[in-house]
């Protein structure tokens, strides 16, 4: 039995998650399989100071993270960025921001599913597209279950991910001091930081779990910052361990840098270990991207920015089943076409555009709603405006200014598609 979630008599999402579970979900979406390659790519830029590149990237991310924390405490909602922009500006701005976030998540889910398929082919001789769509379908079924059920799968996968990175740290710990950790140039470190910045993207997705979290105004901001902090600590320690075990020149030329690190003491088992960890990481990331996308669609549909039927919730599982399967369908189409060249452009534009909107929302709401209760604030302020949000806005504007032309073209196309959908819907909707 299903019902419209927007009605007062309809079923609602199951509010059962706690701080540990939400934090675990945040860590799961931040730590993906990309870290197993990024360490080498970052070393090519930052030398043995790859660990410093991670710290700088985390600092930039944390500026906007503090803005997210303040807004999540002020407006805890599955609509997340859509809700923030809607409250700070207007419904139309919220619609555009929400649309961009959904696009980035859905495309990301399809792309990461293809990444899973590449690793899975080591064990199963099937077309990558078939494996990717099969993963998406299986996870869509799981996301359609009660949050109490799929959250435990997420927890297991995240423990595998974190366990893998802790193993790398364990292998490297005895070698700290064997090699210099200070070989690198300021320019190279900054280039490395720009490269690994996207390794921290995902902490913001925990906001979409607000409607399924107990005491979300208090829990969500803390879980968001905890996920970012724990992920940063793991990344920095992995960077130190990696360049302590293997010369950074060798890491920079390897397409499996952490396999080199594990293989230093693990021998021939390193490749299998990395493969299994990558499978766990990609599965966790796809699961959480599908979840976040479905919740964001649900949140927007509940407020009428998207068709109301998308907000339907299952009476049995209390999950947004319509939004979940719409998300699956779009991600599956993308995975089947395999247009990976679009991923970077879509991700780059959507992340930066949404970060700009979030920081602007904090600054505007400090002026329009100065006395509203905030369970967490974005740090010290000057004349009532938080310094972190201002710096987050400036740093994001600097980063988006250097986007490649194709990213701007893709961004313009996404906004045009959003406007066309809205115009078509308004035209067809009876007055």
Residue 17: DSSP 8-state: B
Q: Is residue 197 very low, low, confident or very high in pLDDT (cuts 50, 70, 90)?
A: confident
> In this structure, is residue 347 part of a structural domain?
no
What's the mean pLDDT when you consider all of the chain? Answer: 86
Tell me, what's the pLDDT at 212?
86
- Alpha-carbon distance of 263 to 243, in angstroms, equals 14
**Short-list 293, 25, 357, CA closest to 162:** 25
> In this structure, is residue 349 part of a structural domain?
no
Tell me, what's the pLDDT at 1?
35
* Residues composing the chain: 431
> In this structure, is residue 341 part of a structural domain?
no
Sequence-distant (≥ 6) Cβ neighbours of residue 152 within 8 angstroms: none
- Alpha-carbon distance of 356 to 384, in angstroms, equals 19
Tell me, what's the pLDDT at 8?
40
User: Is the pLDDT score of 357 beyond 90?
Assistant: yes
Q: Using an 8 Å Cβ cutoff, are 278 and 194 in contact?
A: no
Query: pLDDT for 2-36, tens place per residue?
Result: 344 344 446 677 788 899 999 998 898 888 777 87
Q: Using an 8 Å Cβ cutoff, are 302 and 322 in contact?
A: no
Structure tokens at 372: 């509203």
> In this structure, is residue 171 part of a structural domain?
yes
What is the value of pTM for the model shown?
0.87
Q: Give me the number of domains the chain comprises.
A: 1
What percent of the chain shows pLDDT beyond 90?
Answer: 34
DSSP class per residue in 163-220? HHHHHHHHHHGGGTTSS-S----HHHHHHHHHHHGGGGTTGGGGGGGGGGBSSHHHHH
Tell me, what's the pLDDT at 5?
39
> In this structure, is residue 220 part of a structural domain?
yes
Give the mean pLDDT of 381-394.
92
Least-confidence region, from 121-125, 140-144, 221-225, 338-342: 338-342
Tell me, what's the pLDDT at 268?
60
Give the mean pLDDT of 398-427.
82
Tell me, what's the pLDDT at 204?
83
Give the mean pLDDT of 398-423.
85
User: Is the pLDDT score of 90 beyond 80?
Assistant: yes
In terms of DSSP bridges, do strands 381-382 and 313-314 run parallel, antiparallel, or are they unpaired? Answer: unpaired
Tell me, what's the pLDDT at 3?
40
Range of the domain at 41: 18-336
Sequence-distant (≥ 6) Cβ neighbours of residue 388 within 8 angstroms: 62, 63, 66, 67, 378, 379, 380
Give the mean pLDDT of 45-59.
93
Q: What is the CATH number of the domain that holds 294?
A: 1.20.1740.10
- Alpha-carbon distance of 409 to 182, in angstroms, equals 39
Which residues face 385 on adjacent strands?
Answer: 382
Tell me, what's the pLDDT at 135?
95
Query: pLDDT for 131-173, tens place per residue?
Result: 999 999 999 998 888 777 788 888 898 899 898 899 889 989 9
Tell me, what's the pLDDT at 423?
82
**Sign of the CA dihedral 169, 171, 176, 180?**
negative
Sequence-distant (≥ 6) Cβ neighbours of residue 126 within 8 angstroms: none
Q: Using an 8 Å Cβ cutoff, are 146 and 319 in contact?
A: yes
Tell me, what's the pLDDT at 332?
92
Question: Within 13 Å, how many C-alpha atoms sit on residue 409's CB side?
Answer: 4
Give the mean pLDDT of 216-242.
93
Tell me, what's the pLDDT at 112?
87
Give the mean pLDDT of 58-65.
91
Structure tokens at 81: 């960025």
Q: Is residue 338 very low, low, confident or very high in pLDDT (cuts 50, 70, 90)?
A: confident
> In this structure, is residue 151 part of a structural domain?
yes
Q: Which residues of 37-54 are buried (b: 16+ CB within 10 A; e: fewer)?
A: ebbbbbbbbbbbbbbbbb
Q: Is residue 401 very low, low, confident or very high in pLDDT (cuts 50, 70, 90)?
A: confident
- Alpha-carbon distance of 277 to 279, in angstroms, equals 5
- Alpha-carbon distance of 369 to 373, in angstroms, equals 9
* Phi and psi, residue 2, nearest 5°: -130, 160
Structure tokens at 1: 């039995």
> In this structure, is residue 221 part of a structural domain?
yes
Q: Using an 8 Å Cβ cutoff, are 250 and 242 in contact?
A: no
Q: Is residue 355 very low, low, confident or very high in pLDDT (cuts 50, 70, 90)?
A: very high
> In this structure, is residue 418 part of a structural domain?
no
* Phi and psi, residue 8, nearest 5°: -65, -25
User: Is the pLDDT score of 431 beyond 60?
Assistant: no
User: Is the pLDDT score of 210 beyond 60?
Assistant: yes
Tell me, what's the pLDDT at 263?
81
Tell me, what's the pLDDT at 299?
87
Q: Using an 8 Å Cβ cutoff, are 286 and 132 in contact?
A: no
Token pair 């929302």 in the structure block, residue: 361
| Distances in whole angstroms, Cα of residue 20 to Cα of each of 25, 138, 165, 206, 259 | 9, 25, 19, 12, 30
């Amino acid at each position: 039995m299903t019902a419209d979630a927007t009605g007062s008599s309809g079923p609602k999402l199951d509010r059962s998650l706690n701080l540990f579970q939400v934090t675990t979900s945040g860590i799961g979406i931040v730590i993906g399989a990309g870290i197993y390659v990024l360490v080498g790519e970052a070393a090519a830029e930052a030398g043995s100071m790859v660990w410093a590149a991670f710290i700088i990237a985390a600092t930039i991310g944390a500026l906007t993270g503090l803005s997210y924390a303040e807004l999540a405490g002020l407006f805890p909602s599955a609509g997340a960025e859509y809700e923030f922009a809607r409250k700070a500006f207007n419904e139309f701005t919220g619609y555009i921001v929400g649309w961009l976030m959904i696009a980035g998540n859905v495309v990301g889910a399809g792309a990461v599913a293809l990444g899973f398929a590449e690793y899975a082919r080591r064990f199963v001789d099937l077309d990558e597209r078939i494996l990717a769509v099969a993963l998406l379908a299986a996870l869509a079924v799981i996301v359609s279950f009660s949050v109490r059920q799929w959250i435990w799968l997420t927890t297991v996968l995240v423990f595998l991910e974190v366990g893998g990175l802790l193993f790398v740290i364990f292998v490297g710990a005895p070698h700290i001091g064997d090699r210099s950790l200070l070989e690198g140039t300021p320019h190279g470190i900054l280039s490395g930081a720009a490269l690994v910045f996207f390794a921290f993207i995902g902490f913001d997705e925990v906001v979409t779990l607000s409607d399924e979290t107990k005491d979300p105004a208090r829990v969500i901001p803390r879980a968001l910052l905890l996920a970012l902090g724990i992920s940063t600590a793991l990344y920095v320690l992995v960077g130190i361990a990696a360049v302590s075990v293997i010369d950074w020149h060798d890491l920079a030329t390897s397409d499996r840098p952490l396999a080199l690190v594990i293989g230093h003491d693990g021998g021939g088992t390193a490749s299998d270990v990395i493969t299994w960890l990558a499978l766990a990481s990609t599965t966790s990331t796809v699961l959480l991207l599908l979840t976040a996308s479905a919740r964001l669609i649900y949140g927007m549909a509940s407020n009428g920015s998207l068709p109301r039927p998308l907000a339907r919730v299952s009476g049995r599982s209390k999950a947004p089943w319509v939004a979940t399967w719409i998300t699956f369908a779009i991600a599956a189409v993308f995975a089947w076409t395999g247009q990976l060249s679009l991923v970077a452009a879509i991700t780059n534009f959507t992340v930066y555009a949404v970060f700009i909107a979030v920081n602007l929302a904090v600054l505007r709401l400090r002026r329009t709603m100065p006395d509203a209760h905030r369970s967490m604030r974005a740090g010290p302020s000057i004349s009532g405006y938080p310094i972190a949000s201002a710096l987050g806005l400036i740093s994001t504007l600097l980063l988006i200014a250097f986007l490649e032309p194709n990213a701007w073209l893709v961004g313009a196309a996404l906004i045009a598609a959003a406007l066309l959908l809205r115009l078509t819907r308004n035209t067809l909707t009876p007055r």
